[in-house]
Amino acid sequence: MFLALRELAFARTRFGLMGAVIALISVLMVLLSGLSSGLVVDGVSGLLRSPIQGVAFEDGTKTDSAFTRSVVTTADRDAWADRDDVADAELLGTAIVNAKNDDGTPVDLTLFGVERGGFVEPATGEGRALAGEGEVVLSVSAQDEGVQLGDVLTIDRVGTELEVVGFTQDQRTFGHVDTGFLDLRTWQEIHSATPPGQEADAEAYDSASVVALRGVDGLPDLEAGGAATGTDARTIEEAFDSSPGYEAEIMTMDLIKGFLYAISALVVGAFFTLWTVQRTRELAVMRAMGASTPFLLRDGFAQAAILLVGSIAVGLAVGLGLGSLLLGTGMPFELETGPIAVGGVLLLVLGLVGALVATARIARVDPVTALGENR
């Protein structure tokens, strides 16, 4: 450690530049983690923040955009409800629509048709819960679009009017669109394009998009239940992939972060490789004076660890500061401790791996080099 600290102080400019690079990579990691978490919240928070544990789709429905393609019936719901490991099974309808406010302002919505009083219906933070047909509870984020309590939203092409009676306690979005929770019967009429004041076909009132599930004691046996009911059941996390664009967005962000981690390891490894080559003669002198190879390896590795820990800590602090400025700006950005902590640990571990590979050259340093044999 003595040698490591002396070299850090002596070559502070070199190590300072290297530390700045690592810190900048850490800042980028924090921002990417925040953007990735923000995309998840903005894309599927309508499901993420619900008590739903599993979702049953129509059998054979493709994974992508399955919520808008699937059609299940009350018979499917009843079949799930009869299972011993299922506490609640409710029909849930989903549809992305365009609407207009009282003043003609366009409002994009994902309508969730829910059974009133059921476990899927969210608690309201402002206003009241659904009391009848023709009412809607919106995500609190819809207030940013100018929607207020008492406003009447008119669904395009159908003409159905929905009165805003409440807002959820937190953001509820689906496919990056604010979610509106309404009575299932109203949703069925909108989905079947039934004009206002008219009755839909009996088949329309018997169907929805999926069956929302909650188990008696944890997650129900979805595989067995799906086989018994003839549906395709998935956990709520697996169902996220069926949200529009979710899988492509997350895969893109994961790929970018993967390259970032690889670049970090390569940069650290390259720096310590060059540093080891430049001080080969000094290391040879120490070997000739009796310093053991394990001692030099530990010293070089400790040097890398000190640099990485300090630089990553500074980078995380700066990244969190910059990230806090992005909150509430409209950008899908969320600071979550878990992903950021995991990212910081990965940067440290991969950086140490790169440094370990580089400092392994110390073991091949020949003490004879100290006598100038290479000249």
- Within this chain, do residues 26 and 114 fall inside the same structural domain, yes or no? no
Residue ranges in the chain whose pLDDT is less than 70: 1-8, 10-11, 283, 287, 291, 361-375
* 139/142 Cα distance (integer angstroms): 6
Q: How confident is the model at residue 189, as a pLDDT?
A: 93
Global confidence as pTM = 0.81
- Within this chain, do residues 226 and 313 fall inside the same structural domain, yes or no? no
- Within this chain, do residues 52 and 109 fall inside the same structural domain, yes or no? yes
Q: Select from 174, 208, 242 the last residue of a domain.
A: 242
- Within this chain, do residues 165 and 303 fall inside the same structural domain, yes or no? no
Q: How confident is the model at residue 83, as a pLDDT?
A: 94
Q: How confident is the model at residue 122, as a pLDDT?
A: 94
Give me the domain span that covers residue 298.
1-44+247-373
Q: How confident is the model at residue 298, as a pLDDT?
A: 78
pLDDT tens digit sequence for 17-51: 888 999 999 999 999 988 888 888 888 889 999 99
- Within this chain, do residues 171 and 209 fall inside the same structural domain, yes or no? yes
- Within this chain, do residues 112 and 214 fall inside the same structural domain, yes or no? yes
- Within this chain, do residues 26 and 63 fall inside the same structural domain, yes or no? no
Q: How confident is the model at residue 363, as a pLDDT?
A: 65
Q: Select from 219, 242, 265 the last residue of a domain.
A: 242
Q: How confident is the model at residue 41, as a pLDDT?
A: 84
Q: How confident is the model at residue 226, as a pLDDT?
A: 93
- CA-nearest of 356, 339, 267 to 20 is 267
**Residue 84: both structure tokens together:** 């011993």
- Within this chain, do residues 55 and 159 fall inside the same structural domain, yes or no? yes
- Within this chain, do residues 53 and 40 fall inside the same structural domain, yes or no? no
- Within this chain, do residues 56 and 23 fall inside the same structural domain, yes or no? no
Q: How confident is the model at residue 366, as a pLDDT?
A: 66
pLDDT tens digit sequence for 82-128: 999 999 999 999 999 999 998 888 999 999 999 999 999 999 999 99
- Within this chain, do residues 182 and 277 fall inside the same structural domain, yes or no? no
Count up the domains in the chain and report the number. Answer: 2
Q: Select from 226, 242, 258 the last residue of a domain.
A: 242
- Within this chain, do residues 30 and 109 fall inside the same structural domain, yes or no? no
